Structures are given as structure tokens and as C-alpha cells.
């Protein structure tokens, strides 16, 4: 049994290729059913986002499983050939596959390290696998743990606290000028994309009011509707400057649209209450001389990018902490998986011992003829005690050592020593339910007392 992942992401493949492999929700049930219909694929989950397409699976043999997953991805889009797809794919198995899923859930593998959306996307992928019954004992345990790891990383590190986009950096700086944004008025000048993003982030922080103005008043009205704000005629820009606590300038003008004198006048009318200004334009639309005005705090695009750069460094430092935590959790779940490998062998060994015991007891009872029920129970108890005492040491050792790095060697040795047949072991393994997991076998030392 192997855990594998096959996929591509924003680093390994262009968006055009990622788009081709996207599976709509309406087809997900069919796709997952097709995946687990492959002989040898026991469990499967599909994770698709704008930045990654990945298939997680539990398979009997890793290399065979990778080939089947490749066939599956190619078949999701008939115009895509293997030659076009295969160079972009990455393949991980067992501890690397587990570590990859944990890193994905913790947003350590995201385009923007620390972004929160991926954890919800992993949950959605898992819910889809549950709905279509393509997950089982191993994926259930693995994905639940991955979600837990993702939450813990966000709780125990500050990986998500540093803004790493220019638009959100503007919000972070605004908070340094105004500790509470809820009673602030925002003025958006122009309709540049980064300006709109900054305004959207400010709105999400609960600002009191949004004013919007552009040279195209119809455009201003449209934006006002989207932001639930108020459109201001462009000619009245200077008259509304004193009302604004935060001014975002994002026009396409090749010159200054807000002069130093305009801000000096606005500050005077505000009784020296501060104004925070963000100039997200090149060339700049706010006179740099505004920085010399008391209680005026002006940041241009370079200031914001410098702030983002510092934040990215902070996130990377937090990511290092998260990586260590993820590795600890990988080791823990890997021990569980290794232990799970031993379960079918332990079940098969106990079953073989019980079969031998019952067979030998039948021979003895046939030779003895008529005996009392008490004598029969004494003999059966003696046989059970001998079997359990003989198995106790080997089974305890096998269950313990199976979780070590060399666990497979112990499992293989036990199968050979006790002449366990592969088909018997596979049948036992396939009969297990989720409730059993590794704790299905509790090896207990039987008392010496007999009935």
C-alpha cells in the first residue's frame, strides 16, 4: 500500500494547462468514480484550484499508480496529449506525499505563502471525496490531519499576519496612522485596479464611508454602486478633500492631480486631524511635497513595495517555523501509516494460528472420544493459552517495529517466518473498515488460568 500524489501547480505549469485539467463540480462524482474503478486504486481525492491540480490516491504499487493517474489526467481533456502534460507533473509518494499535502494545507506551497484560501479548498476537496465515497481509512485520517496542521500553522505562527500585496499593504499602513478604521472616510480618486483593490480591502475593514471620483462620472457612479459609496463630480475634488481621512489616488493622469497646497488647505480645515494618502500610480499623481505637510502621511508605490518586501521576509521566517512543525506531524502520521501496514499481517497470523488450533483440537477430541464438557473446556483453554503466549511476543514486536523506519522489513520477515500467503493477507486487508484503523489488533497477554 502506498500514498501518492500526482499534480502540477503555478511553478510547474502555465495557467493555460492548469485550466485544461480543471474538473467542474458537476463532473466530479464521475471523475472520482472513474479513478477508484482502476484496479489497485483503493482511495482517491482530487484537489483543483486556480494554482494547482492534484490527485491524491492510496494504491497497491506506487509506479503503477502514477501511470494510472497520468492516464486519468490526460483523459480529462481529449485534446491534451501525454507529451504535453507529463513534463509538467510532479510525483510524490509516501512520506513525501504526506509532507506535500501538509505543506499545501498550511499554505507553504502557495503562490502567496500564508494565504488562507487553500485550507478551505482542501476541505472542499475532501468533502467531495466523502460525498462520492472515494476516500477511506487512510485518506480520511490523512486529510483530517492535514486540515488540523493547516489550522495549527496559522494559530501558532504569524505566517498570515504580514500583507504581501501592494493593495493590502496600504491597509496595513493605514492602520498604523488610524488604529481604528471603522469611523474613517475613504476617498478613491481614479479607477486604477490597485486603487480599487485597496479600497475593497478598506471596505472589508468596515470603514464608515467611501467617496469616489473619476473624470468619467458614469464610471464613478458605477464604482459607487459596487462599493456602496457616493460618487463625487471630479470638478469638486478639492472641496471633498477635507472630508477624507484616507485618500487613494489611482488615475491615469500624467501629472499631479493633488498638489501640496490642496492638502495644506484640507489639513487646516480638518483642524490638523491627519490625512493618510496612498499614490498607487506611475507617474505619480500626488505631489511628493505633501510629505512635508504636518499631519499628512503620503506613501507612493515604492513605499508600498518596500513594505511588501519586508513583509515577505517576515512571512518566510514564519514559514521556516511552520516547516519544522509540518515535518514533526509528517513523522507522526507516517508512523501511523507504517503501523497500518502491519494490521493485515497481524490479522492473518492470528487467523492462521486459530485455524491450526481448531484443526488440532478436532484431532484430539476425535481420538479421546466421549469426554465431559468440563474436560473439553480445559483442553480448549490450554490450547488457547499456548497459542496466545506464543504469539504475544512476536505480535507486540511486529506492531511496535512496524512504525519504525525499517517496519516493512519486520512485516516481510513475519510473513515469511509464518508462511503467510499474500492472497490471505490482501483479503484480510480489504475486509477492514474505517473503525478498525491500526487499533484493530490489541495484543493482550492471556492469563494462565483455564476454565
What phi, psi does 450 have (nearest 5°)? -120, 155
Spatial contact of 177 and 276, defined as CB atoms under 8 Å apart: yes
Q: 9 forms bridges with which residues in the sheet?
A: 52
Q: 92 forms bridges with which residues in the sheet?
A: 5
**DSSP per position, 80-95:** --HHHHGGG-EEEETH
Spatial contact of 12 and 89, defined as CB atoms under 8 Å apart: yes
* Residue 77 exposed, middle or buried by CB count within 10 Å (0-12, 13-18, 19+): middle
Chain centroid offset of residue 183 CA? 36
Q: How far apart are CA 198 and CA 207, in angstroms?
A: 12
**Residue 78, C-beta contacts closer than 8 angstroms, at least 6 positions apart:** none
What phi, psi does 411 have (nearest 5°)? -65, -45
Q: How far apart are CA 174 and CA 176, in angstroms?
A: 5
Whether 50 is catalytic is yes
50, 306, 386, 413: the catalytic one is 50
Helix (H) or strand (E) holding 136: none
Where does 131-288 show beta strands of DSSP type E? 185-189, 209-213, 230-231, 246-249, 275-279
Q: How far apart are CA 318 and CA 39, in angstroms?
A: 43
DSSP state of 55: E
State the Rg of the chain over Cα.
33
Largest CA distance in the chain: 116
DSSP state of 287: -
Active-site amino acid positions? 50
Amino acid at each position: 500500500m502506498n500514498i501518492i500524489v500526482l499534480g502540477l501547480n503555478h511553478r510547474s505549469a502555465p495557467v493555460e494547462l492548469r485550466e485544461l485539467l480543471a474538473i467542474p463540480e458537476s463532473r466530479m462524482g464521475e471523475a472520482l468514480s472513474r479513478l477508484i474503478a482502476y484496479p489497485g486504486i483503493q482511495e482517491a481525492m482530487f484537489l483543483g484550484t486556480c494554482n494547482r491540480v492534484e490527485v491524491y490516491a492510496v494504491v497497491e504499487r506506487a509506479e503503477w499508480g502514477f501511470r494510472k493517474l497520468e492516464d486519468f489526467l490526460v483523459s480529462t481533456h481529449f485534446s491534451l496529449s501525454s507529451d504535453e502534460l507529463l513534463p509538467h507533473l510532479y510525483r510524490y509518494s509516501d512520506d513525501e506525499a504526506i509532507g506535500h499535502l501538509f505543506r499545501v494545507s498550511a499554505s507553504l506551497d502557495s503562490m502567496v505563502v500564508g494565504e488562507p484560501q487553500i485550507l478551505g479548498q482542501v476541505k472542499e476537496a475532501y468533502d467531495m471525496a466523502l460525498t462520492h465515497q472515494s476516500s477511506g481509512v487512510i485518506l480520511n485520517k490523512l486529510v483530517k490531519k492535514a486540515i488540523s496542521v493547516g489550522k495549527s500553522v496559522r494559530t501558532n505562527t504569524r505566517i498570515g499576519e504580514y500583507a504581501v500585496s501592494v493593495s493590502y499593504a496600504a491597509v496595513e499602513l493605514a492602520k498604523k496612522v488610524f488604529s481604528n478604521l471603522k469611523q474613517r472616510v475613504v476617498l478613491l480618486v481614479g479607477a486604477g485596479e490597485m486603487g480599487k483593490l485597496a479600497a475593497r480591502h478598506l471596505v472589508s475593514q468596515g470603514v464608515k464611508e467611501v467617496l469616489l471620483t473619476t473624470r468619467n462620472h458614469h464610471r464613478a457612479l458605477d464604482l459607487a454602486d459596487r462599493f456602496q459609496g457616493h460618487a463625487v463630480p471630479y470638478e469638486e475634488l478639492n472641496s471633498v478633500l477635507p472630508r477624507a481621512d484616507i485618500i487613494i489616488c489611482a488615475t491615469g493622469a500624467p501629472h499631479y492631480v493633488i498638489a501640496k497646497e490642496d492638502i495644506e488647505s484640507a489639513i487646516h480645515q480638518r483642524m490638523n486631524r491627519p490625512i493618510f494618502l496612498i499614490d498607487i500610480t506611475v507617474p505619480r499623481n500626488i505631489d511628493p511635497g505633501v510629505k512635508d505637510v504636518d499631519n499628512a502621511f503620503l506613501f507612493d508605490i515604492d513605499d508600498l513595495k518596500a513594505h511588501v518586501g519586508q513583509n515577505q521576509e517576515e512571512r518566510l521566517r514564519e514559514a521556516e517555523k511552520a516547516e519544522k512543525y509540518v515535518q514533526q506531524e509528517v513523522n507522526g502520521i507516517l508512523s501511523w501509516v507504517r503501523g497500518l501496514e502491519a494490521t493485515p499481517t497481524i490479522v492473518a497470523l492470528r487467523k492462521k494460528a486459530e485455524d491450526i488450533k481448531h484443526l488440532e483440537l478436532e484431532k484430539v477430541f476425535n481420538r479421546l472420544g466421549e469426554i465431559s464438557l468440563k474436560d473439553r473446556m480445559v483442553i480448549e483453554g490450554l490450547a488457547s493459552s499456548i497459542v496466545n503466549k506464543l504469539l504475544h511476543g512476536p505480535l507486540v514486536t511486529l506492531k511496535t517495529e512496524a512504525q519504525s523506519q525499517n517496519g516493512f522489513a519486520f512485516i516481510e520477515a513475519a510473513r515469511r517466518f509464518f508462511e503467510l500467503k499474500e492472497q490471505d493477507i490482501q483479503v484480510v486487508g480489504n475486509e477492514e473498515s474505517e473503525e478498525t484503523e491500526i487499533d484493530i489488533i490489541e495484543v493482550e497477554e492471556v492469563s494462565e488460568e483455564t476454565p
